[in-house]
Structure 1
Amino acid sequence: MPMQDRKRNKITLLDVAKHADVSRATASLVVRKSPLVGAETRLRVEAAMRELGYVYNMGAARLRAERSHTVGVVVPNLTNPFFAELLGGMEASIDAAGLVMIIANSGDGPSRQAAVLQRMREHGVDGIILCPAADTPDDLARQVADWKLPMVQALRHVTDELDYAGANYAAGMEEAVEYLVSLGHQTICFAIHGPVHSAYQERIQGFREAMTRSGLRPDLVIAVPDRVDHVAQDAHMLFEQGRAPTAVICFNDLVAHGLAAGFYDRGLKIGHDISLIGFDDVTDAEAMRPRLTSVSTAPSGIGQNAAALLLDRIAQPTLPPRRCVSPARLHIRESCGPLRIS
């Protein structure tokens, strides 16, 4: 087709089909990446698309199929490296299914979360993966049912009436406590931060139950600031509770990094003067010196599981609610050592 004609006339899928000497239906299957088309035919149609400058009109396809081929993902904090790994796992699965992710930050606030969810509904997403903000209303499942919108809870759960992908936080915490006890530690602190949600509660439950089983006092739970630099400044709080801990388990690796800086400022050598364990085991754990012992929750795997649950839910809306809870395992590195007897 001459260039001037292409400028006057929009290239259609029928033009592509004629150029490739196939039916329009076959060309359509190629565009939609159907496995029903043979490799040779697919290559011929794709070559015709390039030669003619054909651009697939996703908006028109959405109107025809009543699908947007987009998935909304809402997380509470986009600056935490943990969520970057989680989103990476989701994206790999979502992309392989031919869909696109729209990512939003709720700031861990229910009102902002509600606004974000409304905007995603307005954009016609096919489904949503939600890490519920703290204080998310208990009627989430009813709202989702009213919206007729597939939804999966990730990392945190509000209701058993929706699919959920997460990790066994309590078991991971128990393993961390048992490891420290095996090194001789008895005064173990749990440094927590952030608002209360299901993952927060499961971590505390695991800590207290493991301490009690070991015959140790389970009440040394201390809240630290949310910002890493403030955690470092306030590390002294851990030693002002009447019982100075010899080991600390942190709510996540960010808290561990902050406390590591605070301990350094106090002249404490991690792994020698005090033992330190993080939680989540993001890639930064290997970058810290000494390398951080941390409970791995495999965020990328949780992301893949959440995406798989959502894709199934989109395809089969009447499936019963499902839970996919991954094991959490302690990765031992260099930040813990035996109890020093003075």
Structure 2
Amino acid sequence: MEKLPSVRDVAAAAGVSIATVSRALNRTGYVSEEVRERVQKAVRETGYTPNFNAKHLRTGRSKAIGLLVSNMANPFLAAFFAAAERHLHAAGFSLLVASTYDDPLREQELLTLYESRQLEGLIAYTAREGVARARDPYAHFALPLVVMDRDIEYDCDTVLLDHRTGVRQAVDYLCALGHRRIALFGPHEGVRSGREKLLGWQDALVQRGIAPDRQLTCLLKSAVESPTDQMAEMLRLPDPPTALVALGTHILSGALRAVRRAGLRIPSDFSVIGIGTEEVFALAELPLTTLRFNFEQMSRNATQLILERVGGHRGPGRCITLPLDLVLGESCAPPPA
């Protein structure tokens, strides 16, 4: 059987001691950047893989953070994971991700698994809101915890997005262009992001003296619901929408499918504002006006909070609220006469 490369082989290839290799790989103690690069090069050349189980037994630390999301197929969550992994890697930690698929039983099993594997902390996009504290597994979770963009009843660190102000700004921009019938597509009101978006939509319309019409809202409860069908129904109303504010690729693309089938052109016949990241809308037919999530800032704040807790920070939960930025593109214009 071929012998696997060892840390001794890495040290020989890099021309340093075994202790220096350990410091470079574990980021403990001082190692110059030049030596660190030599060690990393030697790791690649030898094909060495650290034995994390042995290291865990030896140090009592896993140097791993968990991440729970609803579904990693969601491009928003994938973007967050990529940014968070980069920040944690720079701090010497790995990031272990799992999807809950919004299944409470699976979520409970994953929480138990993360605790049993002695991870050092958890960042979570939970689907649980409004659950009694006695029945909420997060309220009794034993590890440091950061909850992302959810209203919770227990004490922990949170990172929130200011959906209400962002959507209010987007809808007000459309109103300033002359639109009065503005559709809102997004997540259901059972989660914070859906509730806050709806409130922002209502705020802007009321401020402009326009009565909010719930017939122009499509707040999807599941992936089974069709934004295409919902948009088609709105366009058949006696007074249909002339503009749309919509979340993400699936919801926005589904709604726009109905807009195109109706023969409407963007932006001359119909205006559109997408909610998400620049990367998500990069392949749009024309530069979209976008209510942008800053996932880099979100991930930096979340990882900073969890690393501070892992490092021994005590005290009540902290909350960071981040804005959404309206970035103007070419997908909005005054409504047709």
Q: TM-score w.r.t. structure 2 length?
A: 0.85
Q: 1:47 to 1:82 in 2, by over 3 A?
A: closer
Structure 1 residue 76: Cα displacement: 1.0
Q: 1:41 to 1:179 in 2, by over 3 A?
A: closer
**Aligned counterpart, 1:239:** 235
**Aligned counterpart, 2:63:** 69
Equivalent pairs: percent with the same residue?
26
Structure 1 residue 66: Cα displacement: 1.9
Deviations 1:135-175 (Å, cap 9, x if unpaired)? 46342897456443011011333246211123211111011
Could you say which structure has the larger radius of gyration? 1
Deviates more, 1:259-268 or 1:147-156: 147-156
**Aligned counterpart, 1:127:** 121
Structure-to-structure mapping, 1:82-231, within 5 angstroms: 82-135=76-129, 137-139=131-133, 143-144=137-138, 146-159=140-153, 161-194=155-188, 196-220=190-214, 221-223=216-218, 226-227=222-223, 230-231=226-227
Secondary structure of 1:336's aligned partner: coil
Structure 1 residue 134: Cα displacement: 4.3
Query: What CA distance in whole angstroms lies between the structure 2 residues aligned with 1:190 and 1:54?
Result: 52
Number of aligned residue pairs: give it. Answer: 334
Aligned residues of 1:248 and 1:277 also touching (Cα < 8 A): yes
Amino acid at match of 2:272: L
Deviations 1:248-279 (Å, cap 9, x if unpaired)? 21243432221111111111112111112121
Deviates more, 1:174-183 or 1:225-234: 225-234
Secondary structure of 1:189's aligned partner: strand
Q: 1:309 to 1:40 in 2, by over 3 A?
A: closer
Q: Structure 1, unaligned stretches of length 5 or more?
A: none
Q: Structure 2, unaligned stretches of length 5 or more?
A: none
Structure 1 residue 233: Cα displacement: 3.8
Query: What CA distance in whole angstroms lies between the structure 2 residues aligned with 1:215 and 1:16?
Result: 72
Aligned residues of 1:87 and 1:300 also touching (Cα < 8 A): no
Q: 1:195 to 1:76 in 2, by over 3 A?
A: farther
Q: 1:293 to 1:187 in 2, by over 3 A?
A: same
Q: TM-score w.r.t. structure 1 length?
A: 0.83
Q: 1:180 to 1:34 in 2, by over 3 A?
A: same
State the superposition RMSD in angstroms: 3.5
Q: 1:117 to 1:326 in 2, by over 3 A?
A: same
Q: 1:242 to 1:36 in 2, by over 3 A?
A: same
Aligned residues of 1:76 and 1:106 also touching (Cα < 8 A): yes
Deviations 1:45-100 (Å, cap 9, x if unpaired)? 88998999976432222123221111111111222211111111111101111111
Query: What CA distance in whole angstroms lies between the structure 1 residues aligned with 2:288 and 2:279?
Result: 10
Aligned residues of 1:109 and 1:134 also touching (Cα < 8 A): no
